[in-house]
Each structure stands twice: as structure tokens, then as C-alpha cells.
Amino acid sequence: MTNVKYKKKLEDLLALCQKNLPKVDESLIRRAFEFGFNAHRHDLRASGEPFFDHPYEVAKIVAKEIPLDDVSVASALLHDVAEDTEYTIKDIREEFGDTIAEIVDGATKISDIFKSHDVTQAESYRKMLLSMVNDIRVMLVKFADRLHNMRTLEYLPPDKQKRMAKETLDIYAPFAHRFGLANTKWELEDLAFKYLYRESYEAIARDIKSRRREREHYINKFAAPIEKRLKDEGFKFEISGRPKHLYSIYNKMIRRNKPLDEIYDLFAIRIILDTEDNNDCFRVYGLVSDIYIPNPDRFKNYISVPKKNGYQSIHTTVVGPEGKMVEVQIRTRAMHEVAERGVAAHWMYKENAAVDEELQNWVNWVREIFENAAEGQIPAQQLMESFKLNLYQDEIYLFTPKGELKILPKGSTPIDFAYDIHSKVGDHCLAAKVNGRIVPLDTALRSGDQVEILTSKNQTPNVDWEKFAVTHKAKSRVRRWIKEEQRKAIDEGKEIWEKRVKRAKLSINDDDLERFLREKKLENTSAFYLGIRQGKVEPDEIIAMIVDEQKHPAAVVTEEGKIDGLFNRFISSARGIASGIVLNGSHDNYLHSYAKCCHPIPGDEVVGFVTTGEGVKIHRRTCKNIRLMLQMQSDRIVDVNWPADDMTMFVAGIKTSGDDRPGLLNDVTHAVSTTLDTNIRSVNIDSHDSFFDGTFIVYVRNTDHLERILEKVRKVKGVKRAERFEE
């Protein structure tokens, strides 16, 4: 190589590699540099500069901003050779071996996809993904390639600028984000934002630039008393303003529908402590809170309770000078390194995205690989030879007819695809075309398929859909629809029944109807009403049968030798069968049961309702059902009382709620079980957003027993409410 300028570039690149990579094969870098330089010798970029300046800049990004190994740098120098010169992948393979040839080939495939505007074609996009799977360095080179192209996008025509910017925002930035390349992701987003929404970009950039000195002056003014206090306390630390990225600011303005002035966390600082004691972070928080008033609603303790990706830091927002809100992050140097490397906290809490366990495991693995490579713990060649990564092995990539990408679990069907587009599309899914051909709705889709959903307003979900649907959204939506439609059908069936009963002037209550249905082998009234609505049950026939039974009841001879009606029939058959309740002032034994709607226990004021087949149902006087019966069927209400000194145990429910904390369930359970040796039948606790709701089903003797339990539970730390459960 005779060009003095490029000799200097080569030496600069080697210096970067030596500084940032654990091990460098200088010979490999030199050979790749000279090969690429000679291959592109006569090529120019749109800017008029020598084309080789581009792969050189890409290699610098790989060496400095996304450092991994020397093979990545060499591949970056060669990544455009097969695409833009007379040399082929075969030539690269002969000169540099299989690994570099495969990386360059993968990068070339991705470039071909975008160059041909073919990214909306499923098969082409699938090739891009498979290229990444074969060797992770394909994507590292493409991230660097795209980053440099975005930095020099001004030289392309406006239509190409917008196309590349949209590709960057839709595909490259999210992938960089998943790879943990936070800085790369932010720069790609900001550059894409600049070319897609130039007016908004320039307005925000102009506003921030115009206030830069004011902002820096304010941050310095805000930080000064904190710095002095920390020094006085003997801390070793670093304080810096935290940069805010334009696209992030823009999204917040759109999401919150607020102007730039009201995006409070434009003012933010980060305190990084040189300490190994995590408790120092809390001491510093105390000092900051002593200087500035904190906003208690904006405090996050990610040290005691780290994020799932290991992110640790204290976040607080305080009222600074002039009443401005300032966000303060406090962390140790070790915490900062974890947060800035691999999967940072931005993925987990900034994007509000749910992360499944498998993807999290993958990310942790990638981060570990990167860290080990950076620290030289694993030889680069050995590391990358074994690094064959299947990024989404349990996901498939599907496309709408317009080229929109949909990612679904492996095994998904057109029903899953339809519901992923929209619930209404799923509800009215009539048929599906896969790659232009009609297929059954239970067809298992494959990665790369283009799926078109055909809908009809007359089509509704089918019970069978739930059997072959895979995604939670599809299954739950089908279940919900079926349940809602069934509820409507039951209501409509009941309305039909009541109209027929009224027309026939038949007198029958729910309990008698329930008894009749059981005798006829129908499960319950809901199934009965549903059968009427679906035309499987003829209500007039049932009415005729009931009328016939009422006209010819089974006569019962009482002790007095008289034939009596329903009540005495019941009393006669029930006598001596059960005990534990006083009926009409009599202590004789009568068949009875306790209503599940109100769960009466001794001490409650109760009444009895005479049923057919189940004896007397005991209700609390305050029960809403018994109030309705008093209005409609008062002749079937009987006076009942609790017997004295009965040691029978009864079921009662306790409803609790309050602030969640570790050990709370154990404390509440202990409080319940130690009150008069109470037995707990079941426990259900639901925790959300630091609050809990709980239901305990317990055995009690009477209302006094229950009240003593409630009093004890209310004394448990964190419990805000404890009361008898009312259904």
C-alpha cells in the first residue's frame, strides 16, 4: 500500500484494536485492510469520498463502540467487498477462511434485502434473521454499518433517507436494544428521528441547544451543595448530568401530551460512588433529601429489590432551586458498570415491556459472553466458534399482506395471527390465506409465511378454536367470547321461560325448578335456560310436566292423620334427620342446610326458607336473597334460632387488604390460627403494585369468635382492612 493517508488510517485502526480488544492478530487486520482497500480502490460514495472510507469507519465503530474481537474488525473491513466489487465470497473464503467468509456473506444478504426494497417480503426477512443466527458478529457488523450510513445519510436523496430511517427505527434500533447496545440504539433512534420527523427533531434540538448553557448552569448550581456535602462526609464520587436523547424526549412529549417545558426529567444527574458498600447509596440519598425536598411518589429502590436483569440504583426526584424537578440516580461504580453493559435497565423499566424468562436467559448469556470476551477469559477464536446463537428459536416471523411483521410463538395458527392483528379481526375470522393459498384455520404456521385473514361480520368464534389456538390472547379472547355469548343466551332463555310460565299462570320458585331439573338429569338452571335458547328444550313441555306434578302431589299423612301440603310434607320427612337449629320454637330435629350466599354463623340473626329436597335453608336476615324471598314468597319463610351451647364449627370468610411486604402472609396466617386455635380452610392472596388483597376461609364457632380473629388480624403490620367476607 503506497497511499500515505491510508497507511496512517491503518495504524490508527490497529491502535484502537490494541486499546479495546483483549487480543489482536495484527496480520489479520493488515491483510483485511489491504484486501478491502484494493477491492474498493476505484469506487466512490454518494458523498464523493473514496468508498473504502465507509468500511474503514465501520471497522473503527466495531473496534471502539462495539468491541468484541479482531475477526469482527476484519469482517467489517471486508463487509461490502462481495456486494460492490468483482470479488466473491469464494475469494474471501480462500483468503481469510470460512468464519470471515460466512460473516461477510451474512452481512451481504442483509444488504441485498434492503437494497432491493424487499424487506417486506417474508422470505427475505427470514434470511436476514437466519444470517444473524449463524454468527452473532453478522449483526454487530450490520449495526456498525447502519450506524455509519445513518451518520452520512445527508448525501442520499430524500426518499432514500426516509426509507433507511424507517428501516433503522423499525428493525435496527430494536435489535441493537436487545443486544444491549444502548448507545448504538440511542444514536440510531436520534438519527432516524432526524430524517423522519425533521421539524420536530429540529424544534427539540433547537430548544435544548438554546437552553444548554442555562441547563448546565442549573445542574452545576443544583449539584454544588451535594458535592460539598459528599466531600465533607468523605465520599469518593463522580457527579454528572445525565444526557437525554431527542427521540426519547419526543416520545415523552407525545405520550404525555405535554410541551418540552413540562418534561421534568430534562434535568437529571447521576451520582456514582467509588465504594463497595451498597449502604453508602442510602446514606447519600439521605444527604440529598436533607438538602432538597424529595417527591415521595418518585422514589425507586432498585438496590434492595433489583430489576430482573440485575440493574441496581436508587432513583429519586427532588425539588431543586426555582422549584424545578430534578431526577437523581445514586449507584456504586459496580452497579453503574452493570447498568451500562449488556441489557441495561432501559429495556426493563423504560419501555414497559414484559420480558419472558427464556429471552431474559438469552440476554444474560449474551452479556456474559461479551463480558468474558472483553476480559480475555475465553480465547476469541474458541468463543466465537461455539457461539452459534438461535435468537428466537421458539418464535416464528410472519407477515401481513402489507409487509407488517408479526412475531408469534412456534406452532401458532391463523387464529392466533388474526387475534394478534386485532381482537375484532379474530372474532370475525372466516378463513385464512397463507402465501396466497386458502388453508384450514388450525394450520400450524411457519416462519416466513405471509398470512391474510378473511373476515365476515356474520362469523363468530367457534368453541373448537380454543383447542388449537396457541397464544394466550387468542385463547382468552375465545373463552371470553364464548362465556359472554353463553351468558347472553342464558339470560335470553330465562326470559323466554319466565314469559311462558307467566302465560301458563304457573307458580314455581327457583328451588323447586332446580329440584325438578335434577330429577330430570339436567345439571342446573343455567343449562336449562341455555337449552331453551338453543332450541334443545321445549319450555311448554316442561311446564306441562310441572303442572301435572303439582296437580297430583305425593300425599303425606301427618302424625295427626291429616293430608297436608308442601310444608308439612317437608316437616314429616325431615323430622329426626338433622340437628343444630331451633325451628318455630321447637327443639326437634329438622333437615336443614346453611345458605352459601351469606354463610350464617351462630350470633347472626337468621331466618329459614323452606325448600323442596334440601329442607330449610338458613339465611342471615341481612342476606339480599332472603330479602327478595320475603317480598315474593313470604309464606315459605319460617322463624329459626340458634341452639344454646352448640360447639359445631361453621365456615366464615375474612377479607383483608393493605401494604404488601415480605413475611406478611405468614404473619396474618399466624394471627388467624392462634386465635382460639382456629383452623384455616383456604387462603387466597393477590399482590400487585406493593398492595395485597387476601381472602381467608376459616372455621369459627360464632360471631364472637370471628370478631376476635378480625381484631387480631387488624393488628398485623401492613394490614389496612380486615372484615367479614360478604359475597
Q: In terms of Cα–Cα distance, which of 197, 281, 299, 203 is closest to 235? A: 281
Q: What is the DSSP letter of 406?
A: E
Beta bridge partners of 450: 399
Q: Which amino acid is at 555?
A: A
**Which residues fall within 8 angstroms of residue 721, CB to CB, at 6 or more apart?**
655, 656, 657, 658, 714
- Write the DSSP string, 99-112: HHHHHHHHHHHHHH
Q: Which of 53, 84, 207, 427 is catalytic?
A: 84
Pairwise CA distance, residues 230 & 207, whole Å: 33
Cell of 38: 484494493
The C-alpha atoms of residue 453 and residue 314 are separated, in whole angstroms, by 48
DSSP state letters, 579-632:
-S-EETTB-S---EEE-TTT---BTB-EEEEE-SSS-EEEEETT-HHHHHHHHH
26 catalytically annotated: no
Q: Which three cell numbers stand for residue 443?
A: 394450520
Provide the CA 144 distance to its chain's centre, in angstroms.
31
C-alpha–C-alpha distance, residues 385 and 389, integer Å: 11
- Whole-angstrom Cα distance, residue 229 to residue 235? 9
Which residues, at least 6 apart from 483, have a Cβ–Cβ distance to it below 8 Å?
none
Specify burial of residue 565 (Cβ count, 10 A radius: 0-12, 13-18, 19+).
exposed
Burial class (CB in 10 A: 0-12, 13-18, 19+), 234: exposed
d(CA 322, CA 68): 46
Q: Is 84 in the active site?
A: yes
Q: How many Å apart are CA 608 and CA 612, to the nearest integer? A: 13
Residue 168 · residue 77 · CB < 8 Å = no
Question: Is the separation of the CB atoms in 137 and 390 below 8 Å?
Answer: no
Q: Is 432 exposed, middle or buried (0-12, 13-18, 19+ CB in 10 A)?
A: buried
User: What value, to the nearest 5°, has the Cα angle with vertex 411 and ends 409 and 415?
Assistant: 85
Half-sphere exposure of 46 (CA within 13 A, CB side): 9
Count Cα neighbours of 657 within 13 Å in the Cβ-side half-sphere.
Answer: 9
Q: Give the pairing of strands 325-332 and 268-273.
A: parallel
Joined together, the cell numbers standing for residue 722 give: 380486615
Nearest to 69 by CA among 32, 20, 131, 133: 20
Taking Cα atoms as reference points, which of 246, 46, 44, 40 lies closest to residue 153? Answer: 46
Distance, first Cα to last Cα, the chain: 86
Residue carrying the nine cell digits 387475534? 419
Instruction: Say how far apart CA 570 and CA 615 lie, in whole Å.
Output: 7
- What residues form DSSP beta bridges with 719? 658
Catalytic residue among 34, 65, 83, 91: 83
Burial class (CB in 10 A: 0-12, 13-18, 19+), 466: middle
Instruction: Cell numbers for 502, please give them.
Output: 307467566
Q: What are phi and psi of 184, to 5 degrees?
A: -65, -45
∠ CA 641-647-653 to the nearest 5 degrees?
Answer: 80
Give catalytic residue positions.
83-84
